[in-house]
Amino acid sequence: MNIAAVDYDGLIPNNVALGQDERVKRALEKWHPGYINWWNDMGPEGFQESLVYLRTAVSVDPKGWAKFDYVRMPEYRWGVLLAPAHEGRTIHFGRHKGEPAWQDVPGEYRAMLRRLIVIQGDTEPASVEQQRHLGKTAPSLYDMRNLFQVNVEEGRHLWAMVYLLQKYFGTDGREEAEALLQRRSGDADTPRMLGAFNEKTPDWLSFFMFTFFTDRDGKMQLEALAQSGFDPLSRTCRFMLTEEAHHMFVGETGVTRVIQRTCEAMKEAGITDPNEIEKVRKLGVIDLPTIQKKANLHFSLTLDLFGNEISTNAANAFHAGIKGRYREDRLKDDHQLEGTTYPVLRLVDGKIQNVETPALSALNMRLRDDYVVDCNAGVGRWNKVIESFGIPFQIKLPNVAFHRHIGEFSSIKAGVDGNLLSDAEWAKRRNDYLPSDSDKDFIESLMQPQFEPNKFASWISAPKVGIDNKPGEFEYVKIA
């Protein structure tokens, strides 16, 4: 079978020979109506009849895997796609280093694997739920299309995890697959599993920040799972990463375009001081200090997704060869980490200090450190735009101790520079660091839909190039 080609004949497009796997095919076909019901209930509000110019994966060949066409979202061909197998792949870290990668779930690691797959799976529909109302206030058809592209692909990522559960985890896999359709982002009784996926994405600046910061956690976690000794998980994550790149593009360029528009408007109006917030807002654009506050919020919420500073779960998963480090295969060490240490920022005697910690227990922090480096590269590109206008302002990522709900720093209050604050000081400074109610009201007031081709809301500039190289006037969504 040609693994790069996808079989589109059945109900479920796939490159895993589902046609020859009656049991899993039946289980997925049984799950399918529940998924469609979930999409109709919790997917994008409105626009389900609209024709959206979407890409669909038709192959897993990195050189050309997608085709673009108009699709009604409920008719999108969600499918099961794995990156091609690497002949003779071995496990390259942990206690099984050098052994052949597993094609089946090793009994001793079944619970651990299932938990990781369920957590990963849970985030995918959660993000669609968080973003479901945004279509109505899209700043352009181009942006609306990008939102829906991200949404259908998160839906496909749910399919990816559900396939693993159905194929490899029997009855409890089927139950977990059902439960993934039952939990709801932000629901008091049946919330999604991780904190950031129960937060609201109230406006488009939040959407861009979410796709920049939170989808980037997705990238890091998928990169770590792509290293897995459980080969089907590795191959699934490798293909998901291909799609994920576009999501981060949407976030990074989205925020860039917001910054660009703000700087242009300031320049046209002759405003040089970025802190003249009211004057800048009168121009119908978002002032830079408020953009900074949104970045503070989404960065800190996303840091919580890396778990605790010291984690036995993470150590066990690495030791077992289930979850590696970021790009483990490119690292040059013994890939076992016994007896080595890693510096972790911790709270010692009321101070935030680096503490040498056994490297295996510190793996969440190692991944988080790699994440911060990746974020900083993107923030640097935002700052280049501000600098090109000569405006004296720089977006800065807050200290990792700022506004945390998981781990060491959840018990303290810290400012953006990592300075410890009393409760009273925090209460006084909170609105300097995070969006205040009036900031939120202002941003909400800007969220006016712009549904004419080649037109953009006041607060965001046009993209440099179109999707699939389409010209500016292209109608990315034919609204029904």
State which of residues 143, 223, 231, 304 lies at the interface with ligand BYC (CB under 6 A): 304
Q: Does 127 bind ligand BYC (CB under 6 A)?
A: yes
The least CB distance from residue 194 to ligand BYC, in Å, is 4
Pairing of strands 413-414, 420-421: antiparallel
Per CB under 6 A, does 206 bind ligand BYC?
no
Among 14, 50, 56, 120, binds ligand BYC (CB under 6 A): 120
406 binds ligand BYC per the rule CB under 6 A: yes
201 contacts ligand BYC (rule: CB under 6 A): no
Per CB under 6 A, the list member of 13, 79, 139, 218 interacting with ligand BYC is 218
Residues touching ligand BYC: how many (CB under 6 A)? 25
Q: Which is nearer to ligand BYC, 81 or 194 (CB)?
A: 194
Pick one of 140, 221, 253, 461: the residue that binds ligand BYC (CB under 6 A): 221
Select the span of 21-29, 121-129, 231-239, 448-456 touching ligand BYC (CB under 6 A): 121-129
CA distance 33 to 177: 13
With CB under 6 A as the contact rule, the residue among 48, 59, 242, 313 that binds ligand BYC is 313
Residue 79 engages ligand BYC in binding (rule: CB under 6 A): no
**Binder to ligand BYC among 65, 78, 109, 306 (CB under 6 A)?**
306
Tell whether residue 159 is a contact of ligand BYC (CB under 6 A). no
Interaction mask 418-457, ligand BYC, x per CB under 6 A: ----------------------------------------
Q: Which of 153, 217, 369, 439 binds ligand BYC (CB under 6 A)?
A: 217
- Under the criterion CB under 6 A, does residue 194 sit at the interface with ligand BYC? yes
Which stretches of the chain bind ligand BYC, using CB under 6 A? 116, 119-120, 123-124, 127, 154, 194-195, 214-215, 217-218, 221, 304-308, 311, 313-314, 323, 364, 406
